[in-house]
Amino acid sequence: MSTDVSADVVVVGAGSAGCVLAARLSEDPGLRVTLIETGPGDVPEEVRIPAYGGLLMTGERAWASPTVPQTSAGGRVVPLVTGTGLGGGSSINSMGWLQAHPADYDQWAAAGADGWDAKTLVPLFARIEDHELGASGTHGSGGPMTISGPRHLHPLALPFVRAAREQGWPVSADLNGEQRTGVSLAASNVRDGRRHSVVDGYLTPAVLSRANLTVLTGTRVERVLLEGERAVGVAVRHETGSTRDILASAGVVVTAGALRTPQLLMLSGIGPAAHLAEHGIAVIRDLPAVGSYLQDHPAVAVPFVAGASVMTYPDARADYDLARRGPLSTLAQVAALVPSPVSGTGPDVPPELVFGLALLGAHSGLPAFEGPSGAWLVGLVDPDSRGTVRLASPDPGAEVVVDPRYLSEDNDRRRLREGTRAAFRMLTSDALNGLVQPLLPEPADDAALDAFIDATLATYFHPAGTARIGTDTATSVVDPGLRVHGLAGLWVADASVMPRITRTLPQATIVAVAERAAELVAASLGEVNRAD
């Protein structure tokens, strides 16, 4: 075991939050920052091609953590995938960019996350975004993250918007603007026809310009090193098998995501005391909420077959290679955020359901695909169900035990059921007549619909909430400053700190959480320095 005193701050996990945080903290030239990532450091060309995003969820950069068998899925195991390698989920996701409803942030603050309200968080997007619409009350210009509409508009995109209007949903010119509910063409992290991840926006410019930022890849953090009640570094294992301690004079920020962050905390003796004892781990800090309150967005795909006239594009790769245009230049096309039909409608009703258009097969030059041409995806973004992440073993290389308990609350099933009905109805709407054919008829009654949901239930891959912000140590893990309760020099800053999952895709909010975390950690370090 070797020791390397190499940092003031160690950031664990180079996903969406970690890349942002490391880049921001390293803006202080007097602060030595080390960012550590389990996965690879290269970014293959396939990752950069937007339309290939639909294939990346089963590739080498996808970290699959199968759930325990889910009652709501007919006893099936549901694959829950997160990203690994530089950029984490931002390097394999759909690139959809949807800010949270401001009411989400105000709900966080009301639940004890003081300083995490909309008044504080929404202005952060002015410095995050480089939006093609320019700066406005909800957008920024010149920031690290490029936000753009579809570079290539698929022939089915506008018909799906019209089909949504037939459902009575309003059309929004910008779901990140004043009207946060309705249907819209999707906004994405795409620049010049290429995926624009947090690696591109934040990390690479920082690495190229700063000697005080070190990035280690292929390196697993096995536990946080603690001296008494202070974090002083991390123990790591390189992919070659070598081990060492990396000491951090100021502290450690864990940004490993909602599945791996609680695992690391528990391996370090921080978590539910009884559960740690089961695995022979000495308890440093009994925090029952570590790994609890797991939330996710369960989803159902309603498949369709489209006519050749709207699905064939034989020169897709050639057009992309020549001009970064054509269907390979775009993945997300249409998105909708609406209340559930059982909750009523109106401008003050926050979204509960998200819909998205998934297109597969030869239309985008992807490898041959047997089956439906696409699907209209529906997900529940306001779940009441809560699950857990637990250790399977004290071995840091073991998988975690993930139990989201999807649809365990009756209201969740009821709302997803109605969203699935709406998805079936859309595929037989006048706007799509002659363009698409549903692969399956709409189930005749609730029992048949529930059987369809049980057989097809999946996820949008948005785990959150397992190290939530709060003031009660029985129900939260970090305080509003993101400091782990009862410990010095240890922070958490990723989707796990969300007190309640956002009612939209979480990527934009995770970047905002990391931006806010950089402010808070820097302020905390300044307080320590002043005290010294």
Average pLDDT, the chain: 92
pLDDT of residue 307: 79
The pTM (predicted TM-score) of the whole model is: 0.95
pLDDT of residue 3: 53
Is 1-139+197-293+464-532 in CATH node 3.50.50.60?
yes
Share of the chain above pLDDT 70, in %: 94
End-to-end Cα, the chain, rounded Å: 31
- What would the mean pLDDT of 292-319 be, rounded to a whole number? 85
Q: Nearest Cα to 299, choosing from 196, 221, 383, 181?
A: 383
Helix or strand holding residue 276 (H, E): helix 273-278
User: Has residue 274 got a pLDDT over 70?
Assistant: yes
Contact by Cβ (8 Å): 65, 260: no
Contacts of 273 (CB under 8 A, 6+ apart): 283, 286, 288
Helix 157-166 / helix 410-427 crossing angle, nearest 10 deg: 120
pLDDT of residue 237: 96
- What would the mean pLDDT of 121-145 be, rounded to a whole number? 95
User: Has residue 40 got a pLDDT over 90?
Assistant: yes
Least confident of 31-45, 103-117, 277-291, 316-330: 316-330
pLDDT of residue 526: 78
Dig out the tokens for 271 from the structure.
């978590």
Contact by Cβ (8 Å): 71, 252: no
User: Has residue 467 got a pLDDT over 90?
Assistant: yes
4: how many CB neighbours lie within 10 A of its CB?
A: 13
Place of tokens 């570094």: 233
Residue of 37 and 362 predicted with greater confidence: 37
Q: Tell me which fold the domain 151-185+298-382+408-456 belongs to.
A: Glucose Oxidase; domain 3 (3.30.560)
Please report which residue ranges of 407-481 form alpha helices under DSSP H. 410-427, 446-456
- What would the mean pLDDT of 166-179 be, rounded to a whole number? 93
Contact by Cβ (8 Å): 413, 452: no
Read off the amino acid at residue 388. T
What distance in Å separates the CA atoms of residue 275 and residue 354, rounded to the nearest whole number?
Answer: 35
pLDDT of residue 364: 43
445: how many CB neighbours lie within 10 A of its CB?
A: 8
Task: State whether the Cα torsion 27-32-33-34 is positive or negative.
Answer: positive
What distance in Å separates the CA atoms of residue 323 and residue 75, rounded to the nearest whole number?
Answer: 47
Residue of 500 and 60 predicted with greater confidence: 500
Q: What is the CA radius of gyration of the chain?
A: 22
Residues in the chain: 532
Contact by Cβ (8 Å): 336, 183: yes
The 10s digit of each residue's pLDDT in 101-119 is 999 999 999 999 999 999 9
SS3 for 368-419, per residue?
Answer: CCCCCCEEEEEEECCCCCCEEEEECCCCCCCCEEEECCCCCCHHHHHHHHHH
List 101, 152, 196, 462, catalytic entry: 462
- Is 462 considered catalytic here? yes
CATH 3.50.50.60: which residues of the chain? 1-139+197-293+464-532
Contact by Cβ (8 Å): 363, 327: yes
* HSE toward the beta carbon, residue 82, CA cutoff 13 A: 31
DSSP state of 143: S
The 10s digit of each residue's pLDDT in 196-247 is 999 999 999 999 999 999 999 999 999 999 999 999 999 999 999 999 999 9
User: Has residue 2 got a pLDDT over 70?
Assistant: no
Q: Nearest Cα to 203, choosing from 41, 411, 365?
A: 41
User: Has residue 23 got a pLDDT over 50?
Assistant: yes
Whole-angstrom CA distances from 179 to 149, 182, 184 are 16, 8, 10
Show the CA angle centred on residue 508, arms to residues 507 and 511, nearest 5°.
90
CATH 3.30.560.10: which residues of the chain? 151-185+298-382+408-456
SS3 7: strand
Show the CA angle centred on residue 281, arms to residues 277 and 282, nearest 5°.
90
Whole-angstrom CA distances from 352 to 297, 345, 358, 384, 415 are 10, 11, 20, 11, 8
Burial 381-395 (b: 16+ CB within 10 A, else e): bbbebbbbbbbeeee
Contact by Cβ (8 Å): 490, 224: yes
417: how many CB neighbours lie within 10 A of its CB?
A: 22
- The string of DSSP letters for 58-90 reads TSTTEEE-PBSPBGGGTTB----EEE-STTGGG
